[in-house]
Structure 1
Amino acid sequence: MKKTFVLVVLFVFPLVAYLFFASGVNNFGRLPVLTENVDELEQFTGDAKLEGKITILGFLGTEIGKIKGNAFNLNQKIYKRFSEFNDFQMLMMVPTGYEEEVTALKEELGTLSDVDKWNFVFGSTAEIETFFKSLETNLSLDETYGTPYVFIVDKDRNLRGRNDDEDEGVKYGFNTTSVAELNNKMEDDVKIILAEYRLALKKNNANRSK
Structure 2
Amino acid sequence: MKKYIVLTVLFILPIVAYMFFATATHNSLFLPEISKNHQDVPTTFQSLNKEQITLKDKITILGFPGSNIEEVKANLFNLNQKIYNKYSGFKDFQMVMIMPEGTQEEVLKIQAEFARITKELQNWHFVFANPVALEKYYNSFHFQNTLDINSGTSFVYILDKNLTLRGRKGQKIKGKIEYKECYDSKSAAELHNEMSDDVKILLREYRLALKKNNTRKDDFRDNIKNQVEKNKK
TM bracket, shorter-chain basis = 0.7 to 0.9
Indicate conservation of the 8 Å contact 1:26/1:195, yes or no: no
1:198 and 2:207 equivalent? yes
- Partner of 1:174 in structure 2? 183
1:90 and 2:126 equivalent? no
When the two structures are superposed, what TM-score results if normalisation uses the length of structure 1?
0.83
Moved over 6 A (4+): 23-26
Indicate conservation of the 8 Å contact 2:97/2:127, yes or no: yes
When the two structures are superposed, what TM-score results if normalisation uses the length of structure 2?
0.75
- Partner of 1:122 in structure 2? 128
Question: Structure 1's 80 and 23: CA in aligned 2 closer, same or farther, altered over 3 A?
Answer: closer
Given residue 92 of structure 1, which amino acid in structure 2 is its aligned partner?
M
Q: How far 1:106 sits from its partner (Å)? A: 0.9
- Partner of 1:45 in structure 2? 46
**What is the percent sequence identity of the aligned residues?**
43
Structure-2 separation of matches of 1:100 and 1:20: 38
Query: Is the partner of 2:122 in helix, strand or coil?
Result: coil
Query: Is the partner of 1:61 in helix, strand or coil?
Result: coil
Query: Is the partner of 1:77 in helix, strand or coil?
Result: helix
Question: Structure 1's 126 and 20: CA in aligned 2 closer, same or farther, altered over 3 A?
Answer: closer
Question: Structure 1's 202 and 143: CA in aligned 2 closer, same or farther, altered over 3 A?
Answer: same
Indicate conservation of the 8 Å contact 1:83/1:117, yes or no: yes
Q: How far 1:206 sits from its partner (Å)? A: 7.0
- Partner of 2:22 in structure 1? 22
Pick one of 175, 179, 187 that aligns with 2:196: 187
Q: Which moved more, 1:134-143 or 1:165-174?
A: 165-174
Query: Is the partner of 1:157 in helix, strand or coil?
Result: coil
Given residue 128 of structure 2, which amino acid in structure 1 is its aligned partner?
F
Structure-2 separation of matches of 1:136 and 1:120: 22
Indicate conservation of the 8 Å contact 1:57/1:152, yes or no: yes
Structure-2 separation of matches of 1:43 and 1:207: 33
RMSD, aligned CA: 2.5
Q: Which moved more, 1:36-45 or 1:101-110?
A: 36-45
Structure-2 separation of matches of 1:135 and 1:54: 17
